[in-house]
A and B are shown apart, each in its own frame.
Chain A
Amino acid sequence: GEDVEQSLFLSVREGDSSVINCTYTDSSSTYLYWYKQEPGAGLQLLTYIFSNMDMKQDQRLTVLLNKKDKHLSLRIADTQTGDSAIYFCAEREENTGFQKLVFGTGTRLLVSP
């Protein structure tokens, strides 16, 4: 079945790097995503990676994908207090005629000054 898991909580100091981990189960997923959700807001797409890549870097964000272990991570360099939020990973599943996103439970990142 479909299942995406994340650790629930991560606390870091401002200026440190944050690493948020995710495991997924569907080996046929074509894309994997990271979203950020601030209090009272919707989902903000941060970045995504195609399943045949193993790394993608976008400014302070680095995504690593280990397809063999079905493990995805998001590294945030020089973490700022404004990065405090809930981070969701999601896998895109393809079905006949349509695709859908399956989300993890979210990791709450707390950045302290």
Chain B
Amino acid sequence: ETGVTQTPRHLVMGMTNKKSLKCEQHLGHNAMYWYKQSAKKPLELMFVYNFKEQTENNSVPSRFSPECPNSSHLFLHLHTLQPEDSALYLCGAQGNSAEAFFGQGTRLTVV
């Protein structure tokens, strides 16, 4: 248990669907991240939220839309995705200390 919970664990969606990934942290940490992990590629940082404010958008296509309604929750809204968007999406949380924890990830398959 890392203190970071992601739901759902697995998601299959069509290219015309709209879905959302959810991340919840109970660590009181002020920074939250979305990373994408594709096969044979390094982990890619997508978004950073610091104190609920988006501080980095790493050139992510607009079909991915993040939302951070409060310091404990982070969402990734998905619409009109492509098959190449199939990947493991990881949420992380970090506070003022050194430790950075990640959830179990959502395995997304776009068909």
Contact = CB atoms under 8 A, between A and B. Distances in A.
Given A100-B45, A103-B43, A41 B94 contact: no
Interface string B32-50: 0101000000110100101
Given A97-B55, A98-B48, A43 B94 contact: no
Contacts of A41: 104-105
Given A42-B102, A45-B2, A99 B90 contact: no
B74 interface: no
B74 to A, nearest CB: 14
B99 A48 contact: yes
Interface size class on chain A is 20 to 34
Interface residues of B, number: 24
A83 B106 CA distance: 23
Contacts of B66: none
A45 B31 contact: no
Contacts of A42: 2, 6, 90, 102-105
A98 B55 CA distance: 7
A101 interface: yes
A88 interface: yes
B87 to A, nearest CB: 13
Contacts of B105: 41-42
Interface in B75-99: 90, 92, 94, 98-99
Contact of B45 (A31, A35, A102, A104): A102
Contacts of B6: 42
5 contacts: A31-B98, A40-B107, A44-B2, A101-B45, A101-B100
Interface of B: 2, 6, 31, 33, 35, 42-43, 45, 48, 50, 55-56, 90, 92, 94, 98-105, 107
The 10 A-B pairs with the shortest beta carbon distances in the complex, nearest first, are A42-B104, A103-B43, A43-B102, A98-B50, A98-B55, A42-B105, A31-B98, A42-B102, A105-B42, A42-B103
